[in-house]
Amino acid sequence: MTRAIVLTHGGVGSDPDLKDGCELAARVGLKLMMEGAGALEAVVAAACALEDDGRFNAGSGSSLRLDGKTIEMDAAVMDSSGRLGAVAAIEGVKNPILVAREVIDTPHVLLCGQGAREFARKRGFKEFSWVSPRAKARYEEIKVAISRGDLPGWKDFDLKGNWNFQVQYSEVFPSDTIGAVAIDPKGNLAVANSTGGASPMLKGRVGDSCLIGCGFYAGPSGAVATTGIGEEIIKRTLAKLVYDRIAGGMPVPEACQDLLTIFPKDIPIGIIAISSRYEYGVAANREMAWAVLEG
């Protein structure tokens, strides 16, 4: 009989060949639960492994903002008992998911920007700045796509007029995230999310990944993580919609698949979910690396 499950993803649009990174992360989480840890610790450890992988858009692999210098990350963790911690637009830390975990032990649920960074320092997280080769390459691609007008939503946007970086606009001119859901042998459920955002991004932009009910949700019936264009996910409160379907008794694969259809096809979206019935589901309208392990 299945006692525990960890399901991980590497972001909608991620190369399925990166499955090994998702598997490693799931293994880290499952091992912890087999040793007695709960689902919350398991998803945090799994998300941490994915942040450290460097091939995903989270932690060490996070995308650059439009100035080619700034990295701002969002992360969140929640479990079925209602423990919730999140950080938004945090800079200068290696593992935003660990800072999100620390937020659980405060009276707040979400810290952002400079305050989140200073909180991390107080909690002993060292300054970290690293731009991965992946992020540099992605940045070059994005600059080209923007100048060609290839990006829906950015085509008619006055980027120059809205530029909010220190580096000058004239000096500059060229999506995937990670997530984990788990259930432990006691039936506790948890979700963890972490992202460098969805390029292209202005400074200060916050996506769905750290917003409850949008990029993630966990409750007694299940745990859900979503990936894709954050603005579209936020407008539809996607994670809560999936959760409510699961809570209403819909099979998990069907709930994930069903909610994909509320998005136009040109919006990349991915969903992973797990239920208190020890069922899991994965749905994406693009390629997506993911892995599941049961113990």
Per annotation, catalytic residue among 8, 70, 106, 177: 177
Please list, in sequence order, all residues whose beta carbon lies within 8 angstroms of the beta carbon of residue 171, skipping any fewer than 6 positions away.
none
User: What is the distance between the alpha carbons of residues 281 and 94, in angstroms, rounded to a whole number?
Assistant: 30
Q: Which is nearer to ligand ASP, 232 or 244 (CB)?
A: 232
HEC profile for 216-251?
A: EEEECCEEEEEEECHHHHHHHCHHHHHHHHHHCCCC
Give least dist CB 50 to ligand ASP, A: 12
Give least dist CB 56 to ligand ASP, A: 9
Please list, in sequence order, all residues whose beta carbon lies within 8 angstroms of the beta carbon of residue 199, skipping any fewer than 6 positions away.
63, 64, 138, 139, 142, 175
What's at 69, amino acid-wise?
K
Burial of residue 37, with CB atoms counted within 10 A of its CB: 0-12 exposed, 13-18 middle, 19 or more buried: middle
CB contact at 8 A, 98 and 26: no
Under DSSP, is residue 283 helix (H, G, I), strand (E, B) or coil?
Answer: strand
Give least dist CB 281 to ligand ASP, A: 17
The residue within the footprint of ligand ASP, chosen from 111, 198, 242, 293 (CB under 6 A), is: 198
Q: Which stretch binds ligand ASP (CB under 6 A): 18-26, 112-120, 194-202, 287-295?
A: 194-202
Under DSSP, is residue 258 helix (H, G, I), strand (E, B) or coil?
Answer: helix
> With binding defined as CB under 6 A, does residue 195 bind ligand ASP?
yes
> With binding defined as CB under 6 A, does residue 199 bind ligand ASP?
no
The site string for ligand ASP over 4-33 (x = CB under 6 A, - otherwise) reads -------x----------------------
Give least dist CB 152 to ligand ASP, A: 14
Beta bridge partners of 283: 271
CA 111, 115, 117, 118 dihedral sign is negative
Window 44-63: residues binding ligand ASP (CB under 6 A): 57
Q: Catalytic annotation on 177?
A: yes
Window 167-186: residues binding ligand ASP (CB under 6 A): 175-177
The residue within the footprint of ligand ASP, chosen from 38, 85, 207, 213 (CB under 6 A), is: 207
Q: How many residues appear in the chain?
A: 295
Strands 84-90 and 216-219: unpaired
Query: How many residues of this chain bind ligand ASP (CB under 6 A)?
Result: 16
Please list, in sequence order, all residues whose beta carbon lies within 8 angstroms of the beta carbon of residue 107, skipping any fewer than 6 positions away.
none
Give least dist CB 230 to ligand ASP, A: 2
What is the phi/psi pair of residue 76, to 5°? Answer: -155, 155
The residue within the footprint of ligand ASP, chosen from 132, 227, 237, 275 (CB under 6 A), is: 227
Q: Which is nearer to ligand ASP, 177 or 221 (CB)?
A: 177
Give least dist CB 220 to ligand ASP, A: 25
- Binding residues for ligand ASP, rule: CB under 6 A, are 11, 57, 175-177, 195, 197-198, 207-209, 215, 227-230
Catalytic residues: 177
